[in-house]
């Protein structure tokens, strides 16, 4: 199988890898780089468990080819915390009991981060729209919506 070089930053760290041509970013991250915070829930683009942020935009890593990400800045939930200091979204999901099985959580947090990065004070409707591509089977979504709104409030308090 043909291998091609690809270079990008993952959560601020330079990565340079030879990947199989045509391999998805999902597989490159999980199997090559070892970032298993990115989950394979469907590989169809219908569940959002694999969502990552590429150059500031939410994308599905299962439908993105790794070699098209050359030079990109990629963010995943696996790189969101600074040591023991959690990102406000992570804190809000934890303290708000917004995670049960935890499988959808990393993708859900990426979807929420993509929202808050562009819109720090979202309405409930904005939050609903932002997570609409992410499936959660455990929580009924309400705790997740509340956690994202709580993180936004925490952000605004710390900014004030």
* Residues from 88 through 147 that contact another protein (CB under 8 A): 89-91, 93-95, 97, 99-106, 109, 111, 114-115, 127-145
Question: With binding defined as CB under 8 A, does residue 67 bind another protein?
Answer: yes
Question: Is the distance from CB of 90 to CB of 109 less than 8 angstroms?
Answer: yes
Count, residues near another protein per rule CB under 8 A: 81
Distance of closest approach, residue 152 Cβ to another protein, in angstroms: 16
CA dihedral defined by 129, 36, 46, 133, rounded to 10 degrees? 0
Tokens of 142: 């309400």
| Gap between the Cα atoms of 37 and 59, Å rounded | 15
Instruction: Tell me whether residue 8 or residue 160 sits nearer to another protein (CB atom).
Output: 8
Binding another protein by CB under 8 A: which of 69, 77, 113, 122? Answer: 77
| Gap between the Cα atoms of 45 and 40, Å rounded | 10
Binding mask 27-66 for another protein (x = CB under 8 A): ---xx--xxxxxxxxxxxxxxxx-x-----xxxx-xxxx-
Instruction: Tell me whether residue 12 or residue 160 sits nearer to another protein (CB atom).
Output: 12
Question: With binding defined as CB under 8 A, does residue 152 bind another protein?
Answer: no
Question: With binding defined as CB under 8 A, does residue 151 bind another protein?
Answer: no
Question: Is the distance from CB of 30 to CB of 38 less than 8 angstroms?
Answer: yes
Three-point CA angle 78, 46, 98, nearest 5°? 50
Distance of closest approach, residue 15 Cβ to another protein, in angstroms: 16
Is 32 strand, coil or helix?
Answer: helix
């Amino acid at each position: 199988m043909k291998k091609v070089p690809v270079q990008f930053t993952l959560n601020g760290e330079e990565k340079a890898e030879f990947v199989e041509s045509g391999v998805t970013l999902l597989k490159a991250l999980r199997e090559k780089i070892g970032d298993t915070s990115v989950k394979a829930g469907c590989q169809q683009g219908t569940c959002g468990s694999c969502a990552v942020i590429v150059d500031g935009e939410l994308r599905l890593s299962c439908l993105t080819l790794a070699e098209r990400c050359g030079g990109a800045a990629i963010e995943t939930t696996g790189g969101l915390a600074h040591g023991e200091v959690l990102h406000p979204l992570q804190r809000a999901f934890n303290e708000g009991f917004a995670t049960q099985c935890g499988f959808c959580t990393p993708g859900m947090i990426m979807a929420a981060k993509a929202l808050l990065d562009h819109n720090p004070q979202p309405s409930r409707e904005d939050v609903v729209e932002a997570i609409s591509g992410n499936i959660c089977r455990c929580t009924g979504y309400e705790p997740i919506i509340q956690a994202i709104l709580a993180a936004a409030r925490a952000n605004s308090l710390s900014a004030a």
